[in-house]
Amino acid sequence: MDTVATPAEPALRAHVVEVADALFYGRGVQAVGMDDLRSASGVSLKRLYGLFPSKEAIVLEVLRRRHELWTSSLAQAVAAVASPREKLLATYDYLAVWFDDDDFRGCGFINTFGELGATSPAVAAAAREHKASFQSYMASLVDAAGGSADLAAQLAILAEGAQTTAAIAGSGEAAGQARRAAATLIDAAL
């Protein structure tokens, strides 16, 4: 039977992607070599290239995982509160918790887009799809609250701005500022 020493291929892929995510997010994609990924994951180069055809494929898989984690965590935070208005504001509370992580370094999609978006169409598309997904999620929440599509776009812009502001300034206070702005916009619109 399988022992710890030989995990099934899907579990190994997941492990590699998780380690790669931490490395890429913390240092930038181009600053992490395949050998760094090998040491950090304990998976040999031969196996890495058996699991993934190239480094870019790993990058895309990392972005896919990050999108899923973000989406489900946000949905969980939204589900924890009751009213449509609270659900809208829950987004910014979720951001506040995230910003206070010690290793918070901004939105991984924005960072990777800035680094590789101009050279890798696949990376640019992944970032675009992630942001479009968030915008349409916000639109569904706003719709449930009786707001317009324009309000949804405005709330999404606030969330984007809070992420880059918190990342570059190195402080999490942008989450509270964005939350107060969102509350003002919501109350003015409804």
Binding site for a copy of itself (CB under 8 A): 26-28, 30-31, 105-106, 109-119, 124, 127-128, 131-132, 150, 153-154, 156-165, 167-170, 173-174, 177-178, 180-181, 184-185, 187-189
Q: Rule CB under 7 A: is residue 44 a binding residue for DNA?
A: yes
34 binds, among a copy of itself, DNA, none (CB under 5 to 8 A by kind): DNA
* Residue 23 near residue 37, CB atoms below 8 Å: yes
User: Which residues contact residue 119 at a Cβ distance below 8 angstroms, ignoring those fewer than 6 apart?
Assistant: none
Measured CA to CA, the distance from residue 189 to residue 41 in angstroms comes to 50
Rounded Cα distance between 153 and 156, Å, is: 5
Q: Interface with DNA by CB under 7 A: which range of 15-23, 44-52, 152-160, 163-171? A: 44-52
CB of 78 to a copy of itself, least distance (A): 19
Q: Which among 28-36, 94-102, 104-112, 138-146 is the span making contact with DNA, rule CB under 7 A?
A: 28-36
Rounded to the nearest 10°, the torsion over CA 123, 23, 7, 14 is -40
Closest distance to a copy of itself from the beta carbon of 7 (Å): 30
C-alpha separations of 94 from 24, 44, 89 in Å: 23, 37, 9
Q: Which does 81 bind (CB under 5 to 8 A by kind): DNA, a copy of itself, none?
A: none
Q: Which two tokens stand for residue 163?
A: 């992420």
Stretch of residues binding DNA (CB under 7 A), selected from 33-41, 71-79, 122-130, 177-185: 33-41
Q: Judged by CB under 7 A, does residue 47 bind DNA?
A: yes
Following DSSP, what letter does each residue of 131-145 receive, concatenated?
HHHHHHHHHHHHHHT
Interface residues with DNA (CB under 7 A) are: 30-35, 42-47, 49-50, 54-56
